[in-house]
Amino acid sequence: MNSGWCKYPKGMQYQPFRVRLIIVIMFLVVNSCIQTVCCTDNTLYIAGPSEVFEGETVVFTILLNDQPVQAKVIFDTSLSTLSNGSTGEVSITMPVVPFTGKYCEITAWVAGNLSVSKIVYVKNLTGALSVQFSNETIKELETFSITVQANENPVEATQVWFNSEMYLTDTLGSVVLIAPDVLVTTNVGLYVNKSGYGPYSSTIRIAEAGRGDQLYEIIVPSIIEQGEQDIKVYVLGLSGGVAAAHISVWYEGVMVEEQITDEQGRAWIDSPSPITADYFTVQVEKTGYRSLSGIDEVKIYIFEPVEGPTIYLDVTPSEVDEGDTILISIFDDVGRSIDGVSIWLGYENSMMISAVSGSFELHAPVVFFDQERYIYALKEKHNFGSARFTIRNKPGDQNVLNIVYTTVINESSWFALTIVDSFDRPVSDVAVWFNNNLKYSDSSGIVEFQAPPLDKTKMMWINASHSGFSPLSSMIEVVDVDNASGFTSKLIVGVVPTILEGESFIVSVRTMQGIAVPGVRVVFGETVYFTDYTGMVVLIAPEVSWDSTFKLLVSRIGYDSSTTEVMVKNVESFTYWYLILLVVLVLVVGGIVFYRSRFRF
């Protein structure tokens, strides 16, 4: 008997293969646990653009904890490839999409079952209309031409809407247009469409060149005392006072006085004796001149003196540049501050500002030329106070208004416009006209209108103006649904389909033309959100006990609502249950192997 060998009892034999198998299984289990725990803390990210054109080759970079990593990448459920292991980069050529564009999903997987997704909006290029201009700078009443193209080829018989007129392009895709007469440099809308192509919408900047009608503004007090005499009316133009302008004073529908402005554009009028109405109007007429707002009359209120203290105002400084801050102090005849007054910034339309303390700051409005402004303070049982200050125009181009909106809507549907400046910042208190209705944009630059019912599809004007901004005119196509196929104002949702609980993610809402839609109601779970002026909103995935699917509903008046699903994955339970199952599996397999190794019959 060899002492180097052990002798096993009968019925038991040494099983080296099964022992090795147990060791291998335990190693795999431990390795899987480590991978699971590590991946839970890892961050996988896809770096790359969110908006691209069809046919474009786009490079995306897959990063794990900010480091390049090799990953399996799937784009739009059809293309499968691997990213470069050293750079993390993967090149993908964008597919051909309809002229409305398409939202595509790119997903990346790495070892350890860690994945991430990103939504990419692919815009149509070949079916979208584009426009080339013959002139870089277009002046009022000037003739210019445009060429309509699609995929760099001219498109004939295309409808071109400009300045309330419809034109058709010739066989070369060209059409000759005439710039309108503008009072100040103005953005005028251009809308181009043809069946089977994506429409084109833009604005053309028309420069004021001293041709045609000229701009004037009426400078008068907004509030006067009863019986006040020699009230100065100042008619001001780009070159100074406007002489020989006809001034008429109207009270309760009757003209009570007429005057003609002098060489400096001045005239003096008297307040009519009030009978019933507490105001009168002043109208101005001058051949070759128009006001920017189209309103050629202003309203002046008549206040009767009361037995009470008088309000005094001090404006510092008395001369400011447009946009500068002025300090207004409000006090009584002995210098004590007065709280709770209402402030009127007197001009064509008085603006109410509630003052809660004896002083406040006010930003001087933007103006087209130097002018004097009136400011008033009112409080019950007090005689009103007034002051004047001068606003100086800063040389240079005026700010530009732009409208973000859907260019095609159905009749009777509600739609939203977002007014932004040249830096895409929302502009509030912009006067917007549509279908003879006047509304003002809110703090987010948004204003809503309802399209009228129609007998046939037509183009309708949208006009916007704001002090210190170049006015804007644009067009929108309103579709007669009863006598045409109509236009489906469907909301298109862009969202990652799978997220982790507690994770923040972005929802993007656009029209079928790719236009961002603000103010969309987004319902996710039991929480309601609203998109901002960029058409996006940030949501937070709720905590879940198990992987759960949530419906995401988007809706807005005037659009067809859309519903999609988002999978919210549980992090902790997924990890722990995975570990528990692995431990159970190890125990079962190990027990079976050990039992069969221990007892062999």
What is the per-residue pLDDT across 498-509, written as a single tens digit (0 to 9) for each? 888 888 888 888
pLDDT of residue 157: 92
- Give dist(CA 143, CA 138) in Å, integer: 8
pLDDT of residue 16: 59
| Both structure tokens of 65 | 């904890």
Residue with tokens 């402030």: 343
3-state DSSP call for residue 450?
strand
What mean pLDDT, rounded, does the chain reach?
80
pLDDT higher than 90, residue 126: no
Nearest to 442 by CA among 518, 375, 510, 368: 518
pLDDT of residue 241: 94
Nearest to 222 by CA among 48, 370, 348, 36: 348
Nearest to 321 by CA among 370, 386, 361: 370
Nearest to 125 by CA among 147, 96, 93, 104: 96
- Give dist(CA 228, CA 250) in Å, integer: 16
- Give dist(CA 154, CA 150) in Å, integer: 6
Which region among 320-329, 373-382, 442-451 has the lowest average model confidence (pLDDT)?
Answer: 320-329
DSSP string, 37-87: HHHHH--EEEES-SEEETT-EEEEEEEETTEE---EEEETTTEEEE--TTT
Contacts of 225 (CB under 8 A, 6+ apart): 271, 302, 303, 304, 305
Is 495 in contact with 507 (CB distance < 8 Å)? Answer: yes
pLDDT in tens, 317-376: 999 887 788 888 899 888 888 888 888 876 544 445 555 567 777 777 767 788 888 889
Other CB atoms closer than 10 Å to residue 487's CB: what's the count? 21
φ/ψ (deg, to 5) at 582: -65, -40
- Give dist(CA 442, CA 533) in Å, integer: 11
> Looking at the DSSP assignment, which residues form a beta bridge with residue 418?
404, 446
> Looking at the DSSP assignment, which residues form a beta bridge with residue 224?
302
Residue 576 is inside which H or E element, if any?
A: helix 572-598
pLDDT of residue 15: 53
Q: Identity (one letter) of the amino acid at 315? A: V
Region 88-104 average pLDDT? 83
pLDDT of residue 248: 96
pLDDT of residue 512: 66
Percent of the chain exceeding pLDDT 70 equals 80
Is 155 in contact with 148 (CB distance < 8 Å)? Answer: yes
Is 477 in contact with 194 (CB distance < 8 Å)? Answer: no
Residue with tokens 């909301």: 491
Is 249 in contact with 229 (CB distance < 8 Å)? Answer: no
531 Rama class: left (phi>0) / alpha (psi -120 to 50) / beta: beta
pLDDT of residue 558: 65
- Give dist(CA 47, CA 59) in Å, integer: 9
- Residue 473: pLDDT band with limits 50, 70, 90: confident
Axis crossing angle, helix 572-598 with helix 16-41, rounded to the nearest 10? 170
φ/ψ (deg, to 5) at 431: -80, 120
pLDDT in tens, 158-174: 989 888 788 999 999 99
